Amino acid sequence: MSGLELVRGITSVGAGDRPTVGGKGAALGELSRAGIAVPPGYVVTAQAFECSLRALDPAGTLRGEVERLPAGDRAGIARVTARVRQRIVAAPLPEDVRAVITAHYRGLGGDPEAGKHGVPVAVRSSATGEDSAEASFAGLQDTYLWVRGAESVLDHVRSCWASLYNAEAVSYRLRMRIPEQDLAMAVVVQRMVDPRCAGVMFTCSPATGDRSVIAIEGSWGLGSALVSGDVTPDCYVVSKVTGEIVRRTVAAKFRRHQMDPSGCGVVADDLPEALRERPCLSDDEVRALAAVGRRVERHYGAVQDIEWAITDDARPANGIVLLQSRPETVWSGRSAGPVATPKARAVDHVFEGLGRVARIDTGTEARRWT
């Protein structure tokens, strides 16, 4: 096994590399191929995971042990998975894996010896496997921010691997009878972005599924404040057709997630009063984000659910970087019939439309007035 396959640069991978770099890694590679700015970084591949697993489990019994657990045995699952996770985080890494991850960290500008003062990175799980298997990780895959120094990166890579054996994730796989054999965990390591503000963007309306608009939500600091529900974000709706901001709602934002004062990890704190009512995005930034959203959507040919951040760094010029993009699932999955189908004559639409009683929804509206 060559070192090249243990780690791959984000810019060198694409959608076809999912089995090797996982969903998140592949999506980031695909974005950067499409010319969208993503933080520079690399992916510790599924092969690196396999290689390390073989080292700590030469007999190859670990996966079978997990798979044989009874799906309903919550206590058993908790006990076994805790032991598996413990083994993964404690086992020494094979030398070639260790060397290549360290070398790439150095490639990001990080002095491996600098420890707490090294270049900060984000270490994020990126599971491989079937879609259904990946679905089991929604919200469970671990992400570690503001990680500094090679040793800490190595520790967090192992933590990400261990998260594959999260009790909830394993329970789900057992229930769904998803085989353990092909499951692996890749890990994305990216230069840490210190965002002024961050958030999510849907290339359709999350409320109505309307594909003619882009919905953007954002708040000060890291996007985790918004994703975790710690803060009510500012909301913007932008027309894809005219580029106009058709709605903006500036929320009172009380919390912010940002770098811990120690330089490592994240701290959630109260937002200074002056920033609370201030919109976190300028109109130009809203429009620039929407333009990026449209490009991503066009690239994939499908409605996207995007995580973004804006930095005050000079690169890229507008400060926008994407941290993730995946197909939107709620509305895309809904199989509503067509709004209308063609008729023999155009006027038949009028006959149908005017032949209908335009009732007022008395269930909701009448109550307001009577």
Long-range CB contacts (< 8 A, 24+ apart) of 274-277?
Answer: 275/220, 276/252, 277/250, 277/252
Residue of 241, 254, 288, 300 interacting with another protein (CB under 8 A): 241
Considering only the stretches 17-25, 93-101, 108-116, 347-355, report the one whose residues sit in contact with another protein under the rule CB under 8 A. 347-355
Question: CA torsion, points 302, 197, 153, 101, in degrees to nearest 10?
Answer: 50
Residue of 263, 265, 316, 353 interacting with another protein (CB under 8 A): 353
Task: By CB under 8 A, tell whether 147 contacts another protein.
Answer: no
- Please report, in angstroms and rounded to a whole number, the separation of the first and last CA atoms in the chain: 75
Task: By CB under 8 A, tell whether 59 contacts another protein.
Answer: no
d(CA 350, CA 352) in angstroms, rounded, equals: 5
Task: By CB under 8 A, tell whether 317 contacts another protein.
Answer: no
Considering only the stretches 1-9, 17-25, 100-108, 334-342, report the one whose residues sit in contact with another protein under the rule CB under 8 A. 334-342
Q: Binding-site residue total for another protein (CB under 8 A)?
A: 46
Considering only the stretches 23-31, 126-134, 142-150, 356-364, report the one whose residues sit in contact with another protein under the rule CB under 8 A. 356-364
Task: By CB under 8 A, tell whether 248 contacts another protein.
Answer: yes
Residue of 63, 87, 106, 240 interacting with another protein (CB under 8 A): 240
Residue of 12, 205, 232, 318 interacting with another protein (CB under 8 A): 205
Considering only the stretches 14-22, 37-45, 70-78, 349-357, report the one whose residues sit in contact with another protein under the rule CB under 8 A. 349-357
Q: Which CB atom, from 2 or from 335, has the smaller least distance to another protein?
A: 335
Output the DSSP codes for 72-108.
T-HHHHHHHHHHHHHHHHHSPPPHHHHHHHHHHHHHT
| Three-class DSSP category at 163 | helix
Q: Which CB atom, from 59 or from 358, has the smaller least distance to another protein?
A: 358
Residue of 208, 262, 282, 329 interacting with another protein (CB under 8 A): 208
Contact (Cβ atoms closer than 8 angstroms) between residue 115 and residue 149: yes
d(CA 101, CA 269) in angstroms, rounded, equals: 33
d(CA 317, CA 337) in angstroms, rounded, equals: 43
Tally of CB atoms within 10 A around 227: 19
Which H or E run includes 256? strand 255-259
Residues 6+ apart with CB under 8 A from 336: none
Task: By CB under 8 A, tell whether 279 contacts another protein.
Answer: no
Considering only the stretches 45-53, 60-68, 260-268, 348-356, report the one whose residues sit in contact with another protein under the rule CB under 8 A. 348-356
| Three-class DSSP category at 154 | helix
Q: Which CB atom, from 57 or from 210, has the smaller least distance to another protein?
A: 210
Task: By CB under 8 A, tell whether 347 contacts another protein.
Answer: yes
Which positions touch another protein (CB under 8 A)? Answer: 205, 208-213, 237, 239-242, 244-248, 338-343, 345-347, 349-362, 365-370
